[in-house]
Amino acid sequence: MLRTHYTSQIRPEDEGKEVVVAGWVHRVRDLGGVKFIILRDREGLLQITAKRGVIPQELMNIADELREEYVIAVKGIVKANRIAPKGRELIPNEIEIISRPISPLPISISSKTDIGLDTRLDYRVLDLRRPEVLAVFKIQSKIVEGFEDYLREKGFQKVFTPCLIGAASEGGAEVFPVVYFNKTAFLRQDPQLHRQLVVISGMDKIYDLGPSWRAEPSHTPRHLCEHRGCAVEMGFINDEQDIMRIEENLVTRAMLKVKEECSEELEILEVNIEIPSTPFPELRFPKIYEILEEFGKKIPFGEDYDRESEVILAKYVKEKYKSDFFFVNRFPFKIKPFYVMKVDEDPQWARSIDLIYKGLELSSGGQREHRYEKIVEQIKEKGMSLIGLQWFTEFFKYGAPPHGGFNLGIERFTMQLLNLSNIREATLFPRTPERLLP
C-alpha cells in the first residue's frame, strides 16, 4: 500500500474519500467495543476507529495486535466526527503491519516525560518521533525556506563554497585539522573568504547554506562544534547599511513564513511569533560604551564587549525601541578580522555588524575591504602572513567592487525564535566536545 495522504492533508470535508496513510502507532486505546489507533506521521496524528462487529473480524485481529511504534499503513474511508481530533477519523478497510519493534523502546514517545537532554540526545532518533521535537525541525526547515524565498526573489544565486580549506581563515586555535593526503587541511570556520572571492569573480549576489566548524571546547548552551549558517554576500553596495537592510528583511521573511505555515507546530511549542518592524534599531561603537556605563557596565574604550553586554544592550533596546532585534555597528577594528572595512574617516572603528536577537548574537558581517593596498596593510597590521593569504589577496588586484555580507547561525535563530534553552535542541545531531554520536 502506498501512502496517498499525510495526516494533515485529511480534513472533515474529505468525508467518504478513500485514503492510504502510513506511519507509526502513537497510541492505542481499547474501549472494548471500539478500538482507537492513533497513527502518527511527520505531519501529525490521525485517529483510526475500529468498531468490533462492524469491521471484519480478520481486520479486528490485526488491530488487536498493534502496539506503540508499530509501523503500519492503513487504507480506509474518511469520516467527519466532531469529537475526534481535528474533526475527522478513518474507518479502516485494510491494515498492513510494515514493521514491528523487536525490543521495548528506551524512551517514551507518546507521553510527555521529563527526560534529560543528554538522554534524549543519546536516543535522538526516537526523541525525534515526539511531536514537540519534530515541530522544531519542521520550523527550522521553514526558516530556511523563508531565507531562500527571499534571497531568490532578490536575485541571489546559491553557491557551494569549500568546507575543506588549506589555511585557517581567521587564525586562532579554533580550527579542526584534517588529514589531507600528506598535508594538513582544516574545516572551515566560516565560508567568508571564498564568498568574497565569488563576489569579486563577478557572481555579485550569492548565498551559501552550509556548515562551519569550531574547535572550541566550550560547553555553553549557545555553542556547537558544528553549526550551519545562511551566509550571504553581495557586491556593488554603498556601505554596510545595504547589508543590514537585506539581513533584516531576510529574518523577517523567515518569521512570516513560519507564522503562516507552521501554526500547528507553534501551538505545540506554545510560541507566538511577533513579526518585527523594520528597519531594526542600530547601536554603534563608541556610543555603546556610554550606554553600557549607564547600566553600570564598564568596558575600556576601544575594547570588545562581552556576553553580559549583549544582554544589557538587548534590555535597553527592548525598552527604548520595543524591538527584540538590533544591529551593533562599528566594532573596534582591533578585535575584528583583517578583511573588515575600516571607517576611512575614523579608522579605529570598522563597518562591522552583528545582529542580536533576544540578547544573543545571531550573525556577524558587514562591509569588507575591497581595495588591494588596504587589505595588505590590514594583514600586516594584524601581524599575519601575506604569503599565507596570497591565495585570497591576489584576486583583489584585478578589479573588485565594494561588497559585504553576513553569516547567520541557523541553529541560533531557531533556538531564539522558539525560546529553546539550549542550541542542541535546535540541532538534529549535535556535535559538541563530548558528543560525536549518534
Report whether 27 contacts 67 (CB < 8 A). no
Position 158: which residue type? K
Q: Check binding of 364 to Mg ion (CB under 5 A).
A: yes
Q: State which of positions 225-244 bind ligand ATP (CB under 6 A).
A: 227, 229
Give the residue closest to ligand ATP by C-beta. 409
Pick between residue 19 and residue 356 the one whose CB is nearest to ligand ATP.
Answer: 356
The torsion angles phi and psi of 3, rounded to 5 degrees, stand at -60, 135
Q: State which of positions 418-437 bind ligand ATP (CB under 6 A).
A: 423
Q: Check binding of 224 to ligand ATP (CB under 6 A).
A: yes
Among 122, 149, 264, 361, binds ligand ATP (CB under 6 A): 361
Q: Report, in Å, the least distance between residue 229 CB and ligand ATP.
A: 5
Residue 144 grid cell = 530556511
Among 411, 418, 424, 426, binds ligand ATP (CB under 6 A): 411
Q: Crossing angle, helix 287-294 and helix 307-321, to 10 degrees? A: 90
Vertex 184 angle, CA 183 and 186, to 5°: 145
Element at 353 (helix H, strand E):
strand 352-357
d(CA 350, CA 66): 64
Q: Report, in Å, the least distance between residue 421 CB and ligand ATP.
A: 15
Among 214, 257, 330, 424, binds ligand ATP (CB under 6 A): 214
* Region of 69-77, 113-121, 202-210, 362-370 interacting with Mg ion (CB under 5 A): 362-370
Q: Report, in Å, the least distance between residue 80 CB and ligand ATP.
A: 46
Distances (CA, A) of 152 to 4, 137, 147, 148, 205: 31, 22, 9, 6, 10
Q: How many chain residues bind ligand ATP (CB under 6 A)?
A: 16
Pick between residue 48 and residue 340 the one whose CB is nearest to ligand ATP.
Answer: 340
Distances (CA, A) of 55 to 16, 23, 88, 173: 16, 21, 18, 67
* Region of 28-36, 123-131, 252-260, 362-370 interacting with ligand ATP (CB under 6 A): 362-370
Count Cα atoms within 13 angstroms, Cβ side, for 290: 5
Residue 207 grid cell = 548565498
Q: Which residues bind Mg ion (CB under 5 A)?
A: 364
